[in-house]
Amino acid sequence: GDSVTQMEGPVTLSEEAFLTINCTYTATGYPSLFWYVQYPGEGLQLLLKATKADDKGSNKGFEATYRKETTSFHLEKGSVQVSDSAVYFCALSMYNNNDMRFGAGTRLTVKP
């Protein structure tokens, strides 16, 4: 079935380091792809999304490009901050809201 596999953490970086969190997907069709972020004590928030191949989603300095050829949607940020410490979830959705599939989540800790 449709699924998402993301890099397991935890990931610990120093402030201003470059971040990559890998995410690959398996789907029978053409999914929409998402990155959600969960800050401590809060709900999941949509960070960015892409709905078709070669689309790039971006928000708050984070970027991810929908790569159909490698079935990937890796999350990147050029310079992380302490405030980026959170759990990041990759997800896909087929056709409608009902079919949201999540990765296991990657915990990021950024140290000053």
Q: What phi, psi does 101 have (nearest 5°)?
A: -115, 130
93 binds another protein (CB under 8 A): yes
Interface mask (CB under 8 A) for another protein, residues 38-67, using x and -?
x--xxxxxx--x-x----------------
103 lines the binding site for another protein (CB under 8 A):
yes
d(Cα 88, Cα 71) in Å, to the nearest integer? 18
Q: Are 86 and 38 in contact (CB under 8 A)?
A: yes
Residue 29 touching another protein (CB under 8 A): no
| Site for another protein contains 102 (CB under 8 A) | yes
Task: Output the smallest distance, CB 78 to another protein, in A.
Answer: 26
Q: Does 36 bind another protein (CB under 8 A)?
A: yes
Dihedral of CA 76/40/11/36: which sign?
negative
Q: Which of 39, 41, 23, 28 is nearest to 102 (CA)?
A: 23
Give the residues lining the site for another protein (CB under 8 A).
Answer: 4, 8, 32, 34, 36, 38, 41-46, 49, 51, 89, 93, 96-105
